[in-house]
Amino acid sequence: MSYKLGLDTGGTYTDAVVINESADILATTKSLTTHHDLSVGLQRSVQQVFDGMDNRARENVTLVSLSTTLATNALVEGKGRSVALILIGYTEKQFARARLNEALDGDPLIYVIGGHDAGGAEATPLDEAALLKFVADTKERVDAFAVSSMFAVRNPAHELRARHLIQTACDLPVTCGHELSAGLDAPRRALTAVLNGRLIPLIKGLITASRRILADAGINAPLMVVKGDGSLVTAEFAENTPVETILSGPAASIVGARFLARGEANLLVSDMGGTTTDIALLRDGQPQLDPNGATVGGWRTMVQAVMINTYGLGGDSAIEFDRVARDFTVGPRRIRPLSLLIHEHPHLMTVLEQQLEHWYTGTYAAQFVVANATLEDTTGFSATQKELWERIKKGPIALQQLFEDQSLERALNRLISRGYVIISGFTPSDASHVLGSLTAWSRDAAMAGAALLMRYSQYNLGPEFEDELAFASYCRHKVARLTAIALLETSLAEHNKLPGFTLPPGEAAFIHKAFATHDASPVGLDVQLKIPVAGIGAPAPVYYPEAGQLLNTKVLLPEHGDVANALGAVVGSVRQARSLTITPAGGHRVKVHAHDGPLEFDDLELAAAWSIEHLTELVAAQASSAGAVDCEFHTQRDDNVVDNNGERVFFESTITVQATGRPSTTVQG
């Protein structure tokens, strides 16, 4: 018997799943994600998932696949290593258009003479001397190089030459823009190359740690990584193009949901995690890809990835009282569940009990501040920030106690924004502990938090509740309504072909007001969602049945949906594609913009035939490098031909060949 191991490092949990040759799920596990060092939680999950299985099970693992939030979070949080950018044939106006200055954030940049025109002809010879001097001046203070040349997708000669020169001068990784996208938007291609360069050291670190964890567990199998489009690549492939792993986790969840909900070709997949709810659409069994490229952390890349609508709604969303609206809000801020904090630090229960004994509930009742990172170097901290960090790193502190000194509020907010500390308070996970649908952590803490929030609401003329169970039910209903709104907005936006599944603000506001109103309001919205919903993620069974009732639609809560990401990581396929563009060259002749320079042909059909043959060879080699075996090939040809008074005028043709295969279970080397 052979096995496959799927892993996922999510925002709250790190999941693992083991399947056999028939794709039967044999074992699953969840452990808390360790954000300061992802490998700690990863190692724990690898160890736990094999508990209870045959002692030799690890030796029979033939494939390991990993989906990870690392690249996505690094872009969102502005993390990453230093990179030097080489722009060939660019102008400063083009540089500004893609916010490249923000992306570089002070890292080295040079404009080098060179580049090509739209037809692939050399516009100006490459200034190799200037390029080499820049490399010599910067190689000791950066971690990677990114190269982008004008019209490199029509002729990559200058990018390839630049990479060769850099690699002769140093051993740092080099990212060429034309290898990440075939699109013509040069500034965005340059941005994508910069982000890729920043991520290379981070992904290499995670992959190195993963290999060590697997070796320590006695697992000798190929390691694959999930890309943002849901397909798999070898770890070595991912190390060179880590930007393609942004949205890896959501993409894996869609693949996992498709596997679990077999028989449903059209499906809204909604993955509720600790921090967010990610909603995507399956049409004819295939996830919808974002035609404009993935946008993460405000950066609009040229990376092919699933189209995701993300809401700040999860099991760890903050439940707080809004004194203006006189009601409770849920999210989008992520905090640490109170029940989890007290589970880990039982002595803090005394603090909650003391707050309950007090006659008045203050603004910061049932809230603590907790260290969220291991940090020794406090260079750049103000004196107040250093003092505050020294206090917090010794253990969690009640916010009521901390804010006895109001001067600390600004310093605390700065530490929170940098991710060094996190607030702990009442969340949907705590409401679930009150209701008994979750039992892993401290129910006593959740009950105390509910009592404090109920009392605060009463003192501030908000809703009143009979007891803690009534308050927790109110929170559960609110999360279910917000979930229904998110599903409705996404489906309406997709139906109307709106970019990024996003409704115009006015329409979204109307739906939110009409759908999220109090039961006593005379305004309501009765709808029917005509596509089934697959609710996955650990919190989904608590909220999705009610969300489905609100939308009058079928809701699937598949078994093992809480580890759909890890499952999607290991049941996916390897998929690689390459494209070529054909343009007029005068008369009936056409020009193929090949990957090593343009070639001319006597007519379009000859060019198309050569392109298909050439692309098939390239894609076969690329798929093999990405870890695929037993590939099937699909060819697509899109001709742009216009009828001009009875005469067919050819403008452009795009040929795409895609290879799809199963991941190899043979260890290389």
Sheet with 397-398, edge to edge strand ranges: 336-337, 421-425, 368-371, 397-398
- Helix intervals (H) in 460-515: 468-495, 505-515
DSSP 578: E
Provide the residue type at 320 as one letter. Answer: E
Question: Beta strands of 540-573 (E only): which ranges?
Answer: 555-556
Length of the chain: 669
Question: Residue 422: in which H helix or E strand, if any?
Answer: strand 421-425
Looking at residue 518, what is its pLDDT? 46
CB 585 within 8 A of CB 603: no
- The confidence score (pLDDT) of residue 331 equals 84
**Distance, CA of 196 to CA of 202 (rounded, Å):** 10
How many CB atoms within 10 Å of residue 243?
Answer: 30
Helical (H) or strand (E) element with 566: helix 564-571
Place of tokens 């006659």: 359
User: Are residues 326 and 454 both part of a single domain?
Assistant: yes
What angle separates helix 349-357 from helix 443-459, to the nearest 10 degrees?
Answer: 30
Helix or strand or coil: residue 216? helix
The 8-class DSSP code of residue 660 comes to E
pLDDT value for 655: 94
At 12, the amino acid letter reads T
Instruction: Indicate whether 335 and 468 sit together in one domain.
Output: yes
Residue 512 falls inside a structural domain: no
Q: Same domain, yes or no, for 460 and 330?
A: yes
Please check whether residue 261 lies inside any domain of the structure. no
> Cα–Cα distance between 199 and 552 in angstroms, integer?
43
Let me know if residue 623 belongs to a domain: yes
CA distance 527 to 509: 16
Q: What is the structure's pLDDT at 510?
A: 63
**Residue 410 placed within a domain:** yes
| CA atoms of 270 and 166, how far apart (whole Å) | 45
Q: Which helix (H) or strand (E) holds 145?
A: strand 144-149
**430 and 577 in a common domain:** no
Residue 278: CA count within 13 A, CB half-sphere: 23
Looking at 421, 442, 473, the residue that finishes a domain is 473
pTM over 0.85: no
3-state secondary structure at position 529: coil
Q: Which of 444, 473, 502 is the last residue of a domain?
A: 473
Round to whole Å and give the CA distance between 415 and 381.
Answer: 9
Q: Is 239 in contact with 225 (CB distance < 8 Å)?
A: no
The 8 Å CB, 24+ separation contacts for 469-472 are 469/434, 469/435, 471/431, 471/434, 472/430, 472/431, 472/432, 472/434, 472/435, 472/446
Which string of DSSP letters, residue by residue, matches 387-407? HHHHHHTTS-EEHHHHTTSGG
> Is the alpha carbon torsion for 453, 456, 460, 462 positive or negative?
positive
Is-contact 319 330, C-beta < 8 A?
Answer: yes
Select from 452, 473, 494 the last residue of a domain: 473
Q: Tell me if 225 sits within 8 A of 245, measured CB to CB.
A: yes
Please say whether the beta carbons of 261 and 556 come within 8 A. yes
Examine the domain organization and report whether 587 and 453 are in the same domain: no
DSSP state of 419: T
Note whether 452 and 598 are same-domain residues: no
One domain, residues 579 and 469: no
**Got the DSSP string for 335-374?**
-EEHHHHHHH-GGGHHHHHHHHHSSS--TTTT-EEEE-S-
Residue 388: inside a domain, yes or no? yes
The reply to whether 554 falls in a domain is: no
Helices (H) and strands (E) in the chain, counts: 21, 29
- Cα torsion for 426, 427, 429, 434, to the nearest 10°? 40
Strands 336-337 and 421-425: parallel
Block means of pLDDT (10 residues each) for the chain, 669 residues, are 91 89 92 82 92 86 91 75 91 76 86 89 93 94 92 90 95 90 83 90 90 93 93 92 89 92 87 86 84 78 84 90 93 91 96 92 92 73 87 91 79 82 95 94 97 95 95 95 89 68 63 58 71 91 92 92 92 92 89 85 94 95 93 94 80 94 79
What pLDDT is stored for residue 513 in this prediction?
64
Looking at the structure, do residues 598 and 464 belong to the same domain, yes or no? no
Q: Are residues 328 and 449 in the same domain?
A: yes
Number of domains in the chain: 2
Report the distance separating Cα 581 and Cα 336, nearest Å.
51
Both ends of the chain: CA-CA distance in Å?
24
Which residues are bridge partners to 234 per DSSP? 224
Alpha-carbon distances, residue 561 vs 4, 362, 566 (angstroms): 18, 39, 10
Cα–Cα distances in angstroms (integers) from residue 481 to residues 288, 329, 485, 486, 561, in the given order:
25, 12, 6, 9, 21
How many angstroms separate the CA atoms of 476 and 183, rounded? 45
The DSSP 8-state label assigned to residue 306 in this structure reads B
The boundaries of the domain holding residue 451 are 317-473
| Together in a domain, 338 and 452 | yes
273 found inside a domain: no
Cα diameter, the chain = 90
Integer Cα distance of 560 and 349 in angstroms: 33
Close Cβ partners of 308 (under 8 Å, ≥ 6 residues apart): 247, 250, 278, 279, 280, 290, 501
Distance set, CA 564 to CA 81, 308, 537, 553, 574 (Å): 31, 16, 7, 21, 18
**Collapsing DSSP states into helix, strand and coil, what is residue 211?**
helix
218 falls within a domain: no
Neighbours of 457 (CB within 10 A): 21
If asked whether residues 326 and 438 sit together in one domain, one would say: yes
Q: Which distant-in-sequence residues (6+ apart) come within 8 Å of 462 by Cβ?
A: 321, 326, 327, 328, 456
Same domain? For 448 and 594 the reply is no
Question: Dihedral (C-alpha) 602, 608, 613, 614: value to the nearest 10 degrees?
Answer: 80
Cis status of the peptide bond prior to 332, with omega within 30 of 0: yes
pLDDT at residue 114, rounded to an integer: 94
The DSSP output letter for 243 is G
Instruction: Give Cα 98 distance to the centre of its chain.
Output: 21
- Among residues 661, 668, 667, 669, the alpha carbon closest in space to that of 221 is found at 667
Query: Tokens 């938007």 label which residue?
Result: 185
* CB-CB neighbours of 411 under 10 Å: 18
CB 107 within 8 A of CB 137: no
